[in-house]
Chains A and B, each alone.
Chain A
Amino acid sequence: MTTHTQAQGRLAQWWVVVVLASGLWVAAYSHLTDFANALLALLGLTRDTRLGEAIHFFLYDTPKVLLLLTGIVFVMGIIQTFFAPERTRALLAGKRVGVGNVLAASLGIVTPFCSCSAVPLFIGFLSAGVPLGVTFSFLISAPMVNEVALALLFGMFGWKVAALYLGLGLAVAIVSGLVIGQLKMEKHLEDWVQQIQNGQAASYEGDELDWVARFEAGRDHIRNIVGKVWPYILAGICVGAGIHGYVPEDFMASFMGKDVWWAVPAAVLLGVPMYTNAAGIIPIVEALIGKGAALGTVLAFMMSVIALSAPEMIILRKALKPRLIATFAGVVATGILLVGYVFNLVL
């Protein structure tokens, strides 16, 4: 009885905190420009100078990006408690190719897993009878459609760009999975994986969580993600501010513009060896676009940085033979190229 009332008390506390924090969040987010202007004036600078303009960008973008990120990461932390990998596997097991690919790509966005779990997750899916192509749809969409990137794109470029990113990212994951499934590459899994695939795995269902646990998961998610990425974000905003203040208008258009046909493939190639999180790259994206770079080119760069990273391939190499890795990289790269060109064409 006492533990029951205690639990209710903790839940009530959480609701008060969440409602208050949401109010503060909205208030702060709607006064970003005033805040930047006031601080700039305090520094004795105006936006007429290059230095002033760069600093204004920094003062406006830092709180904006951090606020957006904290809000979205909290909400995602809660949503993810509904989709433990074990549950996702149960949802995907026995789904037909096609429907399965669409579902897998969508679940890729909301299912939490850290990159060191990529291999057990991959094999866990296969052992439950999820087809190889459907498993790949999940593995591709998970990094490609990144919730942090989605939130930041929404905040900086509006819902149309965010929706295009979401839709095309999902499309790449679905089609890539279908293609890999069609190629029948099961024999290019490492031998030990093939053996497990034929066997039967036990299933672990996971705990039933209450709302206190879900809120706590949201808080921990903020701690883990925002706590880790804020230095990258600040670095990104600094670079962005520099570009914004000092690089002349239309400078980027000459080599990252819409009319440069080779810009998209070059951006994809440039992205592969780099490994950073979406959060650090978005402020740079914003500044580049402000200087005449085409959105598709920049997005292709961003997608290739987060979806085709070399470290991820090295982890997957434990379970996949080189030909399957190469196919995976090739199919995803083609998808990203198409996205880049489509964006450049449409916007």
Chain B
Amino acid sequence: MKNIKVLGTGCVNCRNTVALIEAVAKERGTEIALEKVEDMAAIIGYGVMSTPGVVVDGKVVHAGGVPNREKVEGWF
């Protein structure tokens, strides 16, 4: 079970990131707990300034744009 958080204020890129992660996880058969973090203070708390950012199991693994598929596959 992977714990994944997508940090973002809700613009198109953030929504695309969520959709991509869900699609890849489904393909791989990995169980994930996906959470969207929209609270600005919480986002800043992760040290991320360019959204969308992605946190996997408490660690920031990506920031600043939609990650590419290869990168997402690497997280699972």
Q: State the A residues within 8 Å of B (CB).
A: 84-86, 89, 112-114, 116-117, 119-121, 123-125, 127, 192, 195-196, 201-204, 206, 318-319
How many residues belonging to B are interface residues under a CB distance threshold of 8 Å? Answer: 20
A318 and B46 CA atoms in complex are apart in Å by 19
Q: Tell me which residues across on chain B come within 8 A of A202, comparing CB atoms.
A: 45-47, 60
List 7 tightest A-B contacts by C-beta distance, closest first: A124-B49, A202-B47, A116-B11, A204-B47, A85-B50, A203-B47, A204-B60
Q: Which residue on chain A has the smallest CB distance to residue B11?
A: A116
Beyond the given pairs A124-B47, A202-B47, A318-B40, 9 more chain A to chain B contacts, judged by CB atoms under 8 angstroms and listed by A's residue number, are A85-B64, A86-B47, A114-B65, A116-B8, A116-B13, A117-B51, A192-B41, A196-B44, A204-B48
B46–A112 touching, CB < 8 Å: no
Shortest Cβ distance from A91 into chain B, in angstroms?
13
Q: Tell me which residues across on chain B come within 8 A of A123, comparing CB atoms.
A: 40, 44, 49
A112–B50 touching, CB < 8 Å: yes
Q: Tell me which residues across on chain A come within 8 A of B50, comparing CB atoms.
A: 84-86, 112-114, 117, 120-121
Which of A86, A120, A196, A202 has the most CB atoms of chain B within a 10 A radius of its CB? A120
Q: State the B residues within 8 Å of A (CB).
A: 8-9, 11, 13, 40-41, 43-51, 53, 60, 63-65
Q: Tell me which residues across on chain B come within 8 A of A196, comparing CB atoms.
A: 41, 44
Which of A117, A127, A201 has the most CB atoms of chain B within a 10 A radius of its CB? A117
Q: Tell me which residues across on chain A come within 8 A of B11, comparing CB atoms.
A: 114, 116
A89 and B53 CA atoms in complex are apart in Å by 16
A112–B64 touching, CB < 8 Å: yes
B47–A201 touching, CB < 8 Å: yes
A85 and B47 CA atoms in complex are apart in Å by 11
Q: Tell me which residues across on chain B come within 8 A of A203, comparing CB atoms.
A: 47
A84 and B63 CA atoms in complex are apart in Å by 9
Q: Which residue on chain B has the smallest CB distance to residue A217?
A: B65
Q: Tell me which residues across on chain A come within 8 A of B64, comparing CB atoms.
A: 84-85, 112-113, 117, 206
A114–B46 touching, CB < 8 Å: no
